[in-house]
Amino acid sequence: MTTAKASVLEQFKAPLALRNYEVPSRPEPGAILVRTEMAGICGTDVHLWKGELTIALPVILGHETVGRIEALGDGIERDWSDQPLQVGDRVTWSPGLTCGVCFYCAEKRIPTRCVNRRAYGISQPCNHAPHFLGGYAEFHYLKPRSTIFKLPDDLRTESVIGAGCALNTALHGVERTGIGLRDIVVVQGAGPVGIAALAVAKSAGASQVIVIGAPKHRLEMAERFGADHVIDIDQVRTPAERIAAIRDFTRGYGADVVLECVGMPPAVVEGMEMCRDGGKYLVLGHYCDAGTVAWNPHIVTRKQLSVFGSWSSEPRHMKMAVDFLRATPNQFPFAEMVSHRFSLEQTNEALATSASGEATKSAIVPTLRWD
Amino acid sequence: MTTAKASVLEQFKAPLALRNYEVPSRPEPGAILVRTEMAGICGTDVHLWKGELTIALPVILGHETVGRIEALGDGIERDWSDQPLQVGDRVTWSPGLTCGVCFYCAEKRIPTRCVNRRAYGISQPCNHAPHFLGGYAEFHYLKPRSTIFKLPDDLRTESVIGAGCALNTALHGVERTGIGLRDIVVVQGAGPVGIAALAVAKSAGASQVIVIGAPKHRLEMAERFGADHVIDIDQVRTPAERIAAIRDFTRGYGADVVLECVGMPPAVVEGMEMCRDGGKYLVLGHYCDAGTVAWNPHIVTRKQLSVFGSWSSEPRHMKMAVDFLRATPNQFPFAEMVSHRFSLEQTNEALATSASGEATKSAIVPTLRWD
Amino acid sequence: MTTAKASVLEQFKAPLALRNYEVPSRPEPGAILVRTEMAGICGTDVHLWKGELTIALPVILGHETVGRIEALGDGIERDWSDQPLQVGDRVTWSPGLTCGVCFYCAEKRIPTRCVNRRAYGISQPCNHAPHFLGGYAEFHYLKPRSTIFKLPDDLRTESVIGAGCALNTALHGVERTGIGLRDIVVVQGAGPVGIAALAVAKSAGASQVIVIGAPKHRLEMAERFGADHVIDIDQVRTPAERIAAIRDFTRGYGADVVLECVGMPPAVVEGMEMCRDGGKYLVLGHYCDAGTVAWNPHIVTRKQLSVFGSWSSEPRHMKMAVDFLRATPNQFPFAEMVSHRFSLEQTNEALATSASGEATKSAIVPTLRWD
Amino acid sequence: MTTAKASVLEQFKAPLALRNYEVPSRPEPGAILVRTEMAGICGTDVHLWKGELTIALPVILGHETVGRIEALGDGIERDWSDQPLQVGDRVTWSPGLTCGVCFYCAEKRIPTRCVNRRAYGISQPCNHAPHFLGGYAEFHYLKPRSTIFKLPDDLRTESVIGAGCALNTALHGVERTGIGLRDIVVVQGAGPVGIAALAVAKSAGASQVIVIGAPKHRLEMAERFGADHVIDIDQVRTPAERIAAIRDFTRGYGADVVLECVGMPPAVVEGMEMCRDGGKYLVLGHYCDAGTVAWNPHIVTRKQLSVFGSWSSEPRHMKMAVDFLRATPNQFPFAEMVSHRFSLEQTNEALATSASGEATKSAIVPTLRWD
């Protein structure tokens, strides 16, 4: 029997614990065992750690992961895109497993809301075999029907982790919203989701993308990703000033599309004011419940707005993300987003660094030596 | 010089005053003078009277009007649908005049938000000639480029007034939202807009329409219009109970589409909870600013909602409305909505009756004798 | 060992042969054995018989079937809509089995073009067990992952067979095309697909539906289903006359939407001329390859058309169809479409009757005695 | 009285004649007189010259024009985008004048099919004053309600003429078709419309654009504009080979979107085969009637295609074009498209050069001296 290490959330707001679990000796048919190479720390992980979404414990966090195939179960020979798979291949995967037959999957065609959805690193508890169902661990087990993507040699692991689930999420959200050719787009937020939304908006035909956020190092990153303008909320401190700034960029009308990537309710109220009449607003940053805000629904009528939400992403968005990252490494340097690397033993420090906003993006590298 | 009577809003929250204005002796080229037959009282008129929208005074209220052509200006020979026009024809018209060339009309194709829009009975002050620019008067002047519709003989004036601008508004709103074939639809509100939304939803392919409102006489009207279920808010008194009722009608998932026709902010919070995941929500009743409500934008993300607003309507919706009323008088008895008739001298009483919710729909009939 | 009868297509254009096959003693896990009550004869069956689609033989034709559950495999307890299933229940099912994970199912979200799709009665050969994979037989075997619908007691078997796959197909096609509220719709063809398209168009908000076809008994059926006008091609014999007739109904502009339900290429050329500029055209009747026609693509540009195709349907359309039939038995009397019933021994006669156009709809009733 | 030169089409297929017309001494209110700087020769001009569209003669051809304001009529102070206008400003304009109130403008919202549409250089005869209603002349008269765009100093005249109406047309067509993020796009044709469609597709989020055409210098231009692959029809000579080549680029499935920019009917048949199932096809190159082709409509059903046409463009597309050209001069070097310049006296030679395909783009420069 071989065992391996995993960093486990056993109690909300308490330090993650380093545990040893038995490594499955052989994957069941259709499953794959992966040796983790790098696991991203998503902002959602911090919220999960705080208990802001109801999930069952214990759980190995980590839903943005790259690893190499250690063993293949019977009958799994190809990835989701029909590429052949073999031991040693570098892969990533969609966090969510969906059923394909429920009301939401089949009747309403929104698999992101599958009633049987289970996400690695979030809603797959680790107290029973095969245990390794999250990224913060030496191994990762991929159950049958997982959606796996073989990574091409010219796509760096850092690109995939730097983009994280933020890119899939942004691809899904922008797809739902629709950016028209030559639209003026505002991105509220300069964290990983905001940067990803910026990259997607630029690629989708936006004529200008204006990013609003802080701190300075994130806005500089936004500029490296091609932001046409940035507004520093540490300098332009009131919503009224920021709304006025957007009006100045848009002949007084407001933006065609505003993408919320902040996760704080007042941003939504502010952002709707930044839309032109007939504009579109995407609530993308509210994966977690951050409470209420005083909001006047009259604005939706008066401005004839369209407001969209999107939850997580589908496997096809992960495929789009992988292709996108491979095609645009210079235009959108997601690999450079990975600013901090930690060993498994340092997971709590890694989470804290992410929570502080100090890191653009932190990652766990299980092979890093702790000393 | 001939003069005629008009009921004029000169000061917010003060009684309307009966004034005499000079009747234009001859309409300018492209314009039409109409003798008012019936003018509907819209819920918006009550809000305008209270000063809840910023408009210039004095103004003759009334933006839902039917009359007979008294005189035609040069060069106007046909209505918006290319029907010939002559003196004596019964007509109605869109309240809004738009410019066709501004940013919103031409570049963004949302003429309802035309920057030069002026609406009869709302934003056309009456202190200068031709004065008669609202429905609560013996005459109505239609400026050049008004969108006028000749009424066919088999369409009753009461049908047009009973439907009022509510039907145009509902047609526009439902068009923007999109009701899929066999969708389950909830209508929040059983006033004129709610009844119109019900009629439109039934016609657009909804499999079930559930109407939530009060008082009893309005819900009975909803049933006459084909509501599959009604929920009386005087009986089912809490949002939680009403949300649970909708879940019971929808296998636990919520409705595909929810149409808000209430105008009170808490209804929006409640209504979004009534949507299934991936559902659509229309904010239709918030033409006026009714203040804020504590709202959690997380619901838009979590349920992957699409939320739409729509402002007023375009001329083509008025054309749709006229055709719709003519085609469905038995299925949707809008003529029976006109529950109260008042003379011009009784306009204040008419407004009060509308404000109280006692009337399904009140109307001014200038030829009614006051005694 | 029990055997039962099936009518088998062994050679294109040759008479179907009555064969006996072994009835599975017990369905595998997830599968169901059904005793056939009624099997519809679809126009496509005639084309399949002629060899106009490439399919593997031998095959038991019949993809529109109702039966009663004879035996349930382990683990299948509910139908596609989550209704409990038990022996004796009356059910129907989608013909197509799709994989859920291929390029078309998952990446492009068009499961009708699933690369692994297999349809009962079409692409499921019968030379190996479980043999009973088409409707023209005493039993029908439903493999695991079939999409099964329990029929409510108040929905007649004749309604389901009368609607056949035509209704699912029309629901899918009209969904793809989009009928706007108050659109004027033309249906080319008065066979089962045309009648179904008429019913769907009426329900989807069309203001007028004009049906073009023959013979007289089909046009009378169209009128029973609510056609606003019918054009008899035996009387209005040239395309030019028919196009002129449509112009007369549409103020000279042409129809908003034209739905082709004929299956003959010249109808497509004629039908595009019936569209107004900016109109929509659905090629719905061309499930089979009926050859080429001289066509001028300039019309697509000049009229700024949108032209749609739709292939078969998804399971969710079958669910919509079942609900639709149950809700509208009087408005759309699909049960009356079943004009001819045949025993299994009379299958060749049944096909011939369908091919001749004499029947509105023929059905096989295995319990009918041949004498 | 001042006169100026114009090159006039007086008889189809006969040489254009150089005529002198009186220059309006002062534009009427709302009109503008422009001194022509450069007029593009569109492929459509060649078709018009051949009489392939029914237009009234005599006409001054030329609907792609840049000039400087010579005189402003009363009341016209701003361009379509609200920029101030004054004598000496360099401007361009949409060819089409629409009415804003007809069935197509107002009721169906497709102003490109305005029943009163008149296009400069096409459907505005020159035999009466103000004569100068096309580009091949020393002056151009812009009637009231023309849609005029002031050109920013950093946008070269050659860019505007190099893009010509092809760019507006491509913007409109791609807008109607919709290119999804990361779609694989095929462009059939490497002439001005094909190059413009390539530029628009790249900007709209396409992951790959494959251009099919000839001759070699046009394919080289396509590569300069960022084509990911080109297929030379002089080398890959059969439709079957070209379809196979597209399959090779697309994992065997075909392209997500195919844009036809050829104008020859067989290209449409070939192009639909290049679409993946569920793909989209745009018929963009068929502004003129080039006759019929043998076509099998079964493909639309079997592949579940969506096929779109688009006619010309709206003023808002010209605005998008101007902004687009200004923003992307290096990525899309439209200015380099202008390969040949001719004086007014050389117009017939210019048309011949365009017809031969020898020129990437020809232009008339009235100030060029003929010797």
Considering CB atoms only, which of A108, A109, A319 is closest to C107?
A319
Chains that touch A (3 or more CB pairs under 8 A): B, C, D
Alpha helix (H) ranges present in A178-297?
Answer: 192-203, 216-224, 239-249, 265-274
CATH 2.30.110.10 fits domain D165-309? no
Between B103, B106, B316, which is nearest D106 by CB?
B316
pLDDT at residue number B371: 56
Question: Would the CB atoms of B278 and A108 count as touching at under 8 Å?
Answer: yes
Best residue of B316, B319, B320 to probe chain D, by most D CBs closer than 10 Å:
B316
Average pLDDT, chain C: 96
Contact C200 B181 (CB under 8 A): yes
Chain-wide mean pLDDT for chain A?
A: 96
**Whether C106 and A82 lie within 8 Å, measured CB to CB:** no
Please judge whether B304 and A277 are an interchain contact, meaning their C-beta atoms are less than 8 angstroms apart.
no
Q: H/E/C letters for each residue in chain D?
A: CCEEEEEEECCCCCCCEEEEEECCCCCCCCCEEEEEEEEECCHHHHHHHHCCCCCCCCEECCCCEEEEEEEECCCCCECCCCCECCCCCEEEECCEECCCCCHHHHHCCCHHHCCCCEECCCCCCCCCCCCCCCCCECEEEECCCCCEEECCCCCCHHHHHHHHHHHHHHHHHHHHHCCCCCCEEEEECCCHHHHHHHHHHHHCCCCEEEEEECCHHHHHHHHHCCCCEEEECCCCCCHHHHHHHHHHHCCCCCEEEEEECCCCHHHHHHHHHHEEEEEEEEECCCCCCCCCEEECCHHHHHCCCEEEECCCCCHHHHHHHHHHHHHCCCCCCHHHHCCEEECHHHHHHHHHHHHHCCCCCEEECCCCCCC
Considering only alpha carbons, which residue of chain A is nearest residue C104?
Answer: A316
Please tell me whether the overall predicted TM-score, pTM, comes out greater than 0.80 for this model: yes
Task: Please give the residue of chain A at the shortest CA–CA distance from B277.
Answer: A113
Written as one letter, the residue type at D194 is G
Return the percentage of chain B with pLDDT > 70, whole number. 99
Name the closest residue on chain D to residue A205, using Cα atoms: D204
CB–CB of A251 and B103 under 8 A? yes
3-state secondary structure of B140: strand
**Band (B32; pLDDT cuts 50, 70, 90):** very high
| Interface with chain C: mutation pick from B81, B109, B181, highest number of C CBs within 10 Å | B181
Residue of B79, B109, B182, B209 for testing the chain C interface, max C β-carbons within 10 Å: B182
Tally A–B CB contacts below 8 A: 145
Neighbouring subunits of B (3+ Cβ pairs under 8 A): A, C, D
Q: Enumerate chain A positions whose Cβ falls within 8 A of a Cβ in C.
A: 80-82, 100-101, 103, 106-109, 145, 147, 314-316, 319
pLDDT score, position C21: 97
Contact C320 B200 (CB under 8 A): no
Q: Is A371's pLDDT higher than 60?
A: no
Facing residue for A307 by CB, picked from B278, B298, B300: B300
Does D369 have pLDDT greater than 80? no
When CB atoms are compared, the residue of A182, A204, A251 closest to D205 is A204
Please report which confidence band the pLDDT of residue C370 belongs to, taking 50, 70 and 90 as the band edges: low
Q: What angle do CA D66, D70, D74 make, to 5 degrees?
A: 115
Question: How high does pLDDT run on average in chain B?
Answer: 96
Q: Which of A113, A295, A303 sits opposite B295 (nearest CB)?
A: A295
Across the interface, of A101, A103, A316, the residue whose CB is closest to C106 is: A316
Which residues does C contribute to its contact with D (CB < 8 Å)? Answer: 103-104, 108, 110, 112-113, 176, 251, 253, 260, 265, 268, 276-278, 283-311
Q: Indicate which of D77, D83, D101, D149 best probes the interface with B, i.e. most B CBs within 10 Å of its own CB.
A: D101
Q: Which of C107, C314, C315 sits opposite A316 (nearest CB)?
A: C107
Domains B3-151+339-364 and B165-309 share a fold: no
pLDDT band at A370 (very low <50, low <70, confident <90, very high): low
Q: Transcribe C92-153 into DSSP letters.
A: EE-SEE--SSSIIIIIS--GGG-TT-EETTTS---SSTT---SSSBSEEEE-TT--EEEPPT
pLDDT of the residue at B358: 85
Tell me which chain B residues have a C-beta less than 8 angstroms from the C-beta of C323: 182, 207
Please answer yes or no on whether D107 and B82 come within 8 Å at the CB atom: no
Identify the band that residue C134 occupies on the pLDDT scale cut at 50, 70 and 90.
very high
pLDDT on residue D203? 96
pLDDT band for position D358 (cuts 50, 70, 90): confident
Give the domain B3-151+339-364 fold: Quinone Oxidoreductase; Chain A, domain 1 (3.90.180)
> Residues C143-158: pLDDT tens digits?
999 999 999 999 999 9
Residue A223's nearest CA partner among A202, A252, A246 is: A202
Contact A203 D181 (CB under 8 A): yes
For chain A, where are the alpha helices, taking DSSP H only? Answer: 43-50, 157-177, 192-203, 216-224, 239-249, 265-274, 298-302, 315-327, 347-356
Domain ranges of chain C: 3-151+339-364, 165-309
> D129-151 pLDDT, tens per residue?
999 999 999 999 999 999 999 99
Residues in chain A within 8 Å Cβ distance of C145: 101
pLDDT, mean over chain D? 96
The predicted-structure confidence for A58-82, as pLDDT tens digits, reads as follows 999 999 999 999 999 999 999 999 9
Q: Do C315 and A80 touch (CB under 8 A)?
A: no
pLDDT digits 0-9 by tens, C162-217: 999 999 999 999 999 999 999 999 999 999 999 999 999 999 999 999 999 999 99
- Using CB atoms, which residue from B287, B289, B296 is nearest to A296? B289
**Distances, alpha carbon A131 to alpha carbons A8, A63, A134, A135, B346, in Å:** 10, 14, 8, 11, 78
State the pLDDT confidence band at D269, using cuts at 50, 70 and 90: very high
Across residues C272-279, what is the average pLDDT? 98
In this predicted structure, the answer to whether residue A369 has a pLDDT above a threshold of 90 is no
**What does the pLDDT look like over C9-31, one tens digit per residue?**
999 999 999 999 999 989 999 99
CA angle at A297 for the pair A296 and A302, rounded to the nearest 5°: 105
Give me the interface pTM, i.e. the ipTM. 0.96
Task: Provide DSSP, C39-106.
Answer: EE--HHHHHHHHT-S---SSEE---SEEEEEEEE-TT--B-TTS-B--TT-EEEE-SEE--SSSIIII
B321: chain D residues, CB-CB within 8 Å: none
